[in-house]
Amino acid sequence: MFVESTFVFIALGGIFAYSFYAVLVAGQLSLGQAGFASLAAFSAVALAPTPSDIGDLPALLVAIAIGMLVGAVTAVILGLPTMRLRGVFLAIATLAFAEAVRILVINMEWTGGARGTSVPKVLEPWMAWVALALVAYWFWRQGPSRYGRALDAIREDELAARAMGIDVSRHRLSAFVAAGAVAGLYGVLWAYYVRLIAPEDFGFAKAIDGLVTAVVGGSTMFIGPLLGSVFLTMVPEVQRAIGIEAGWIRPFLSSLLLLVVILFLPGGLASFLPHRRQRLATGAAGDDDGRRGETSLSQRVHPDPGETVVSLTGLGKDYGGVFANRDIDLQITGGEVLGLIGPNGAGKTTLINMISGLSKPTSGTAEVLGLQPARAAVHKVAAAGVSRTFQHSKLFDRLSALENVMVGGHLVSKPTFLRRLLWLPSAHRDEQRVARHAAWCLERVGLAEQAGTQASALSYGDQRRLEIARALASDPSLLILDEPAAGMNHVEADALSELIGSLASDGLTILLIEHNVGMVMKTCSRIVVLNFGEVIATGTPEQIIENPAVIEAYLGSSESEEAS
């Protein structure tokens, strides 16, 4: 009996922890799972036929279906208004929901009120373990899929994920719905095992327990919740075996562990296991030569040379009286490499943020690749063919270089999660194609050797290059590079200049912000100079270098340099 209940509680604890894991992988902290579990358990018990009518297993299966549906639908209803909340605000909102459910359940007649409802015990240990195995399988197959990588990316850097074309709101909501369904499953299994369910079974302590189990086990590796549950369920058993009966030890230990894990072991117990990185089967980038690797994934038709790619009319951005940009008129045409230079604070980053949809103009209009970024979500602008790097690297730090670039290929790759669940060979083929495509992008920027290295472990210059590889992976029509040569030495900057030239000769349109003037002069066919948010000059490199206004505002003259 002792062994049986321990086994069941390990399985149930693991399932509940997976409902936290489901959202933690996407960087969301939700504490509403106890509320989903409670609603699911009471609804399933009230609505499902009794085991004496249709048999134990059929009754349990119907109850599970009802419970998971209730959990998922409740998550949609709660998720729609709360998914824009971040961090602690989401935690507070979801905790408030769980508390509201608890109070509701206590005061309803159909739930049995505070006394609760008795439920026939039909759950056998094997059923609990089959359920756990299915849930673990789901998250195992999710991890290295296109969907799983998108969730990883959102966790690591939401803004960069948006810029890679990921619809963050939709992904966050679907992770939340999965959490609701899994919490619902837990609630039903719990109900059909413990004989009597009461509202207090799903209180604050339960929510914390599930969270602790997921975090202690490891919130970024699918095996984490299972490890956490084995560990925490075994604590009272070990206590009992060695003759310490104190009931406070387990909650004390789990809280202490949570603290230790957060401080010293962010990957949880799972970080003691070897981490499986996305790998290439064979041949790596060599399987596709030149641009073939890219075009085989993308169907995008790039603008012809001379065709308008960006058209800005009277564009302005006013930050409460500070004009970051004012009255910008600018056309960028297909295949051109346009340099954007100007002193610090001139408004360069603000301008490219408006072009890529990250920031909305306060006046004027921008049209980019046929859409107005002011009216479109960032991921839609990316889908239209705009890709960018950031002034301060925004890599997905805990992912490898290859995985970073595979996320960059989100827009040009096919969804693989459902096919991975069914173990279809086509999913593996598609994953390998996107991995080869990513390896090819890495090779193009000279990072082929670093494919397996974690992004945060790369040198600064390599991180800049990795951002370019990631931006290239979506096969963009317009590539925006924000100070890509910052931190690079002369040799590296020359190599970058050559790379930009070769990308342009492939038909890519490039907008380059750079303080390395020598590089801009060498690389760009045309240059726009900004000062105090306004365009003060436009022309070829030769015209710009001679322009008195530019010399005064930005370049400085040789006399003034000598004098200083």
Ligand X SMILES: Nc1ncnc2c1ncn2[C@@H]1O[C@H](COP(=O)(O)OP(=O)(O)OP(=O)(O)O)[C@@H](O)[C@H]1O
* Interface region with ligand X, contact rule CB under 6 A, candidates 168-176, 186-194, 341-349, 503-511: 341-349
Closest CA to 433 of 342, 340, 298: 298
Q: Which of 333, 349, 389, 413 binds ligand X (CB under 6 A)?
A: 349
Strands (E), 334-420: 337-341, 363-368, 386-388
Half-sphere exposure of residue 316, counting CA atoms within 13 Å on the CB side? 13
Q: Within 10 A of 81 (CB to CB), how many other CB atoms are there?
A: 9
Q: Which is nearer to ligand X, 72 or 324 (CB)?
A: 324
* Interface region with ligand X, contact rule CB under 6 A, candidates 6-14, 154-162, 338-346, 397-405: 338-346
Question: In the structure encoding, which two tokens stand for residue 206, read together?
Answer: 């339960």
How big is the site for ligand X, counted in residues (CB under 6 A)?
12
Mention every residue, 6+ apart, whose C-beta is less than 8 A from residue 276. 144
Identity at 403, one-letter amino acid code: E
342 binds ligand X (CB under 6 A): yes
Question: In the structure encoding, which two tokens stand for residue 537, read together?
Answer: 């000059």
Q: Which is nearer to ligand X, 47 or 322 (CB)?
A: 322
Alpha-carbon torsion 279, 173, 395, 20, what sign?
A: negative
Element (H, E) at 162: helix 158-163
Question: In the structure encoding, which two tokens stand for residue 187, read together?
Answer: 């609630």
Closest CA to 179 of 44, 66, 73: 73
Closest CA to 164 of 469, 374, 439, 437: 469
348 binds ligand X (CB under 6 A): yes
Interatomic CA distance for residues 272 and 269, integer angstroms = 6
Q: Which residues pair with 509 in a beta bridge?
A: 478
Q: Which is nearer to ligand X, 414 or 515 (CB)?
A: 515
* Interface region with ligand X, contact rule CB under 6 A, candidates 134-142, 206-214, 340-348, 398-406: 340-348
Min CB(482)–ligand X separation in Å: 8
Q: Which of 346, 382, 412, 473 binds ligand X (CB under 6 A)?
A: 346
Question: In the structure encoding, which two tokens stand for residue 409, read together?
Answer: 């290929």
Q: Which is nearer to ligand X, 354 or 496 (CB)?
A: 354
How do the residues of the chain divide into helix, strand and coil, expressed in percent and rounded to 5? 60, 10, 30
Question: In the structure encoding, which two tokens stand for residue 119, read together?
Answer: 């439920």
Interatomic CA distance for residues 60 and 189, integer angstroms = 8
432 binds ligand X (CB under 6 A): no
- Phi and psi at 312, nearest 5°, equal -110, 135
27 binds ligand X (CB under 6 A): no
- The 8-class DSSP code of residue 287 comes to G
Min CB(349)–ligand X separation in Å: 3
Interatomic CA distance for residues 216 and 34, integer angstroms = 18
Query: Do the Cβ atoms of 75 and 177 come closer than 8 Å?
Result: yes
* Interface region with ligand X, contact rule CB under 6 A, candidates 343-351, 373-381, 427-435, 464-472: 343-351
Q: Within 10 A of 311 (CB to CB), how many other CB atoms are there?
A: 15
Query: Do the Cβ atoms of 216 and 257 come closer than 8 Å?
Result: yes
350 binds ligand X (CB under 6 A): yes
* Interface region with ligand X, contact rule CB under 6 A, candidates 10-18, 67-75, 348-356, 553-561: 348-356
Question: In the structure encoding, which two tokens stand for residue 179, read together?
Answer: 């959490």
Min CB(343)–ligand X separation in Å: 7
Min CB(359)–ligand X separation in Å: 8
Q: Which is nearer to ligand X, 105 or 374 (CB)?
A: 374
Q: Which of 35, 67, 180, 347 binds ligand X (CB under 6 A)?
A: 347
Q: Which residues pair with 481 in a beta bridge?
A: 512
Q: Which of 345, 415, 461, 487 binds ligand X (CB under 6 A)?
A: 345
Q: Which is nearer to ligand X, 38 or 349 (CB)?
A: 349
* Interface region with ligand X, contact rule CB under 6 A, candidates 190-198, 337-345, 368-376, 495-503: 337-345
Q: Which is nearer to ligand X, 128 or 366 (CB)?
A: 366
Q: Which is nearer to ligand X, 82 or 350 (CB)?
A: 350
Contacting ligand X within 275-334 (CB under 6 A): 319, 322, 324
Min CB(161)–ligand X separation in Å: 20
Q: Within 10 A of 361 (CB to CB), how many other CB atoms are there?
A: 23
Contacting ligand X within 449-508 (CB under 6 A): none
Min CB(356)–ligand X separation in Å: 13
Min CB(546)–ligand X separation in Å: 22
Min CB(394)–ligand X separation in Å: 14
Q: Which of 344, 489, 558, 564 binds ligand X (CB under 6 A)?
A: 344
Element (H, E) at 28: none
Q: Which is nearer to ligand X, 198 or 340 (CB)?
A: 340
Min CB(488)–ligand X separation in Å: 16
416 binds ligand X (CB under 6 A): no
Q: Which is nearer to ligand X, 329 or 542 (CB)?
A: 329
Min CB(231)–ligand X separation in Å: 45
Query: Do the Cβ atoms of 190 and 203 come closer than 8 Å?
Result: no
The pairs formed by 65-68 with CB atoms below 8 angstroms and a separation of 24 or more are: 66/40, 66/188, 67/40, 67/41, 67/43, 67/184, 67/185, 67/187, 67/188, 68/40, 68/181, 68/182, 68/184, 68/185, 68/188
Residues 373-402 as x/- pattern, contact with ligand X by CB under 6 A: ------------------x-----------
Positions that interact with ligand X (CB under 6 A): 319, 322, 324, 342, 344-350, 391
